């Protein structure tokens, strides 16, 4: 479910790559401070994107500081200082990790879910810390989505229903607490990105789910992973279009941003216009010798 929202680094400026990494470091520190030290192991770059977009919609004038990294003890890193967007992103990945583990335990057998069972107590603690921080709405939004997804999967729901459910969750999370004028745009960005994540994850897991006879909405629709991949390659544009829509919204908002957020906006635009389609192409390519797809 993670690792599909990343930039196309070849087209980023060096200063933007550094800013992106400092945002990740800032998110890691925020999670360590507000949730738990252990929560940092669950962090992925997808949440960095979420934090960046939140900062764009909130028009956060962020600051940076120099800090020592827990994972790179001898290096001092430039990190973005703690702020509301980082706090929210930390809470989201903590609660989402908990519910994903619960979902894995429910779906998989005892042996397969052993790793998830071992991690569950830590994730449960993370969720409790997030709730204590006042993020009850985050918990409600995510648990609603998980409930609806489980019901849809049980009834053989289509990829449209499932991806829109996940998109709906991301939309609500992204617009939480924003000013009214930003809510609709924030929801649309979250919705399209959430849809993309779900579709990309389902496409990526096609062969694995076919072997293990696990639920996959594309397998349900097309019967086999080969048929599904052929259809997805033809319909690639309809999956990629969503991230274009989200990018267009951010592009419109760019002119309203303070200059300090331009680079942050460029990073988000790069991810949506270039990074996500590149990831999708890599998933659909499946040719390990391909030199065009950045994924291989």
Partner 1 sequence: MKTPYEILGVSPTATDDEIKSAYRALAKKYHPDTNGGSEYAAEKMREINAAYDKIQDMRSGKSSGGNYYGGNASYGDTNAYERMKSTARDYLNAGNVLGALSLLQSIPEGYRDAEWHYIMGHVYLRLNNNARASREFGMAHSMDPSNEEYRTAYESISSRSQGYTEYTGGNDTSFIPLGCSCCDPCSCLCCCSSLYDCLRCCF
Residues that bind partner 1 (CB under 8 A): 11-13, 136-137, 140-141, 148, 160, 163, 168, 172, 176-177, 195, 235, 237-242, 244-245, 247-248, 266, 269-270, 273-274, 277
Q: How far is the CB of 227 from partner 1 (least distance, A)?
A: 14
Partners of 76 in the beta sheet? 68
Q: Which is nearer to partner 1, 27 or 247 (CB)?
A: 247
DSSP string, 3-45: S-----GGGS-HHHHHHHHHHHHHHHHHHHHHT-SGGGGG--H
User: d(Cα 5, Cα 194) in Å, to the nearest integer?
Assistant: 10
Q: What is the number of residues in the chain?
A: 296
Q: Residue 173 in contact with residue 190, Cβ under 8 Å?
A: yes
Q: Which is nearer to partner 1, 87 or 242 (CB)?
A: 242
- Could you tell me where the beta strands, DSSP code E, fall in 102-147? none
- Could you tell me where the beta strands, DSSP code E, fall in the chain? 64-68, 76-80
Q: Which is nearer to partner 1, 70 or 235 (CB)?
A: 235
Q: Which is nearer to partner 1, 8 or 38 (CB)?
A: 8
Q: How far is the CB of 74 from partner 1 (least distance, A)?
A: 31
Q: Which is nearer to partner 1, 119 or 276 (CB)?
A: 276
Q: How far is the CB of 1 from partner 1 (least distance, A)?
A: 19
Q: Provide the token pair at 66.
A: 């120099």
Q: How far is the CB of 112 from partner 1 (least distance, A)?
A: 31
Q: How far is the CB of 11 from partner 1 (least distance, A)?
A: 5
């Amino acid at each position: 479910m993670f690792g599909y929202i990343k930039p196309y680094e070849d087209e980023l400026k060096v200063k933007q790559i550094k800013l992106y990494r400092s945002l990740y470091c800032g998110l890691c520190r925020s999670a360590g401070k507000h949730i738990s030290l252990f929560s940092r192991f669950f962090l992925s770059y997808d949440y960095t994107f979420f934090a960046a977009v939140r900062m764009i919609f909130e028009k956060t004038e962020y600051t940076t500081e120099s800090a020592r990294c827990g994972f790179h003890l001898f290096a001092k890193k430039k990190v973005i200082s703690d702020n509301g967007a980082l706090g929210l992103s930390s809470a989201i990945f903590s609660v989402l990790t908990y519910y994903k583990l619960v979902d894995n335990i429910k779906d998989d057998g005892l042996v397969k879910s052993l790793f998830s069972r071992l991690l569950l107590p830590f994730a449960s603690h993370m969720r409790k810390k997030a709730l204590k921080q006042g993020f009850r709405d985050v918990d409600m939004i995510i648990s609603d989505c998980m409930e609806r997804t489980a019901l849809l999967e049980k009834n053989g729901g289509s990829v449209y229903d499932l991806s829109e459910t996940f998109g709906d969750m991301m939309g609500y999370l992204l617009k939480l607490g924003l000013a009214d004028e930003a809510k609709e745009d924030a929801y649309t960005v979250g919705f399209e990105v959430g849809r993309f994540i779900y579709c990309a994850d389902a496409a990526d897991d096609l062969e694995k789910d076919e072997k293990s006879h696990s639920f996959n909405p594309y397998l349900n629709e097309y019967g086999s992973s080969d048929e599904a991949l052929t259809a997805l390659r033809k319909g690639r544009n309809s999956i990629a279009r969503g991230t274009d829509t989200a990018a267009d919204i951010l592009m419109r908002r760019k002119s309203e941003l303070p200059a300090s957020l331009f680079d942050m906006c460029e990073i988000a635009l790069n991810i949506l216009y270039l990074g996500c389609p590149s990831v999708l192409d890599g998933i659909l390519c499946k040719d390990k010798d391909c030199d065009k797809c950045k994924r291989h």
